[in-house]
Amino acid sequence: MRILMINHEFTVTGSSTAFFRLAKHLQSSGHHITILPINPAPGPIADHYAAAGIPIETNVGLRNFSLAIANTICAAPAINAIGRQLPTIWFVNEAEVALGLLRRNPDWAAAFVHASMVIYNSAFQHDVFRSFTYPLDPAKFHTVPFGVDIDASRIRRDRAAPKAGRIRIVQVGTIEPRKRPGDVIRAVARLDPQVECVICGKIYNLEPEAQAIANADPARYRLLEGLSDEEVLAWVESADVFVLASESETQALAAYEAALLARPMILSDLPCYRGVFAHGRNCLMFPPGHVEMLAQSIGMLMRSSEMSETLGRAAQRVAGRYTNQAFFERFGLVMQQALGPR
């Protein structure tokens, strides 16, 4: 079957990485995949598609395809155009961020109608978009978490520098307001100078106060962009504590990867973690934006190696359920439903 996959962008994000893994799986299953980019600007994910022999086209004839699969809320205009002509599956990988975009672009909401199937990463997203979807058939909406597998043999441990201090804190995610990297920097600044802070992700902007802290001590604060997945995993594996201070997430694949590596985690208390990660059971949590509580949580794990070990192993057991194979199987069922009578 010929499948058109509509990709948002070629930067390295959780959604773009998972979408590429899906494309490779469908290709290995015998399907012919073509990528139609919303934003065709070059990026590392485009190189992944090229290496896999998956073509990227900016102009396609829809009659050549049997199914379209679209990624992120930004695919809504494409779905409005394509969904009338092809069975279309839409991954909506955002929550509060998407609501802002829908308010600014009200015509995008029609994509919920034109998509054959809509897939969310987490159950709470059904409620986030309820005002746009309540008249529609509930059978077209699905919760299918992405899979997260790690091939330990491919981790580039040689690319993670030795610790600059006694304790290494690592966050993974784009350096921009939603991920709140400045909170991590400010929390570390309240701790012993032997605590090192590493943030891996494309740099968009960092608030001036946090940037000044990082600039004043570059050996202690590392902001790293342009890393491969294997390099990022090496930094995560080297962490004494993994932190994700985001104010909004839908699945947060970086947290699942850290959990698979048995890193003790401190996560902001978000609805996407319900039923997966829980404070005191397999991680520590704090209210988004509460820098002092984040600093105190880091200090708690610094003082208790037993707690760190227990939380890390508990997180690993939970994350182990979210395999790529489980994701592919659940996606296959949605694909069958989309290709059925419309």
Residue 221: the pLDDT is 97
Structure tokens of 38? 């919303």
Residue 146 has what DSSP assignment?
Answer: P
Residues 15/252, Cβ–Cβ less than 8 Å: no
Residue 191 has what DSSP assignment?
Answer: S
Q: Report d(CA 316, CA 257) in Å as an integer.
A: 9
- In total, the chain counts a number of residues equal to 342
Say if domain 2-147+323-339 classifies as CATH 3.40.50.2000.
yes
Residue 11: the pLDDT is 86
In this chain, the answer to whether the domains covering 2-147+323-339 and 152-319 adopt an identical fold is: yes
Residue 167: the pLDDT is 96
Reference 178, options 204, 152, 149, 160; nearest CA is 204
Long-range contacts of 273-277 (CB under 8 A, 24+ apart): 273/249, 274/122, 274/123, 274/124, 275/123, 276/318, 276/319, 277/315, 277/318
* DSSP labels, 203-268: BS---HHHHHHHHH-TTTEEEE-S--HHHHHHHHHT-SEEEE--S--SS-HHHHHHHHTT--EEEE
Q: Report d(CA 252, CA 245) in Å as an integer.
A: 11
Q: Report d(CA 238, CA 169) in Å as an integer.
A: 9
Q: Is 195 helix (H, G, I), strand (E, B) or coil?
A: strand
In the chain, where the domains are located:
2-147+323-339, 152-319
Q: Report d(CA 182, CA 206) in Å as an integer.
A: 7
Say if domain 152-319 classifies as CATH 3.40.50.2000.
yes
Reference 171, options 158, 180, 161, 162; nearest CA is 180
Q: What is the pLDDT along the chain (342 residues), one digit of tens a residue?
A: 999 999 999 988 888 989 999 999 999 999 999 999 999 999 889 999 999 999 999 999 999 999 999 999 999 999 999 999 999 999 999 998 899 999 999 999 999 999 999 999 999 999 999 999 999 999 999 999 999 999 999 999 999 999 988 899 999 999 999 999 999 999 999 999 999 999 999 999 999 999 999 999 999 999 999 898 899 999 999 999 999 999 999 999 999 999 999 999 999 999 999 999 999 999 999 999 999 999 999 999 999 999 999 999 999 999 999 999 999 999 999 999 999 864
Backbone angles phi, psi at 80, to 5 degrees: -60, -30
Residue 341: the pLDDT is 61
Structure tokens of 288? 């988004």
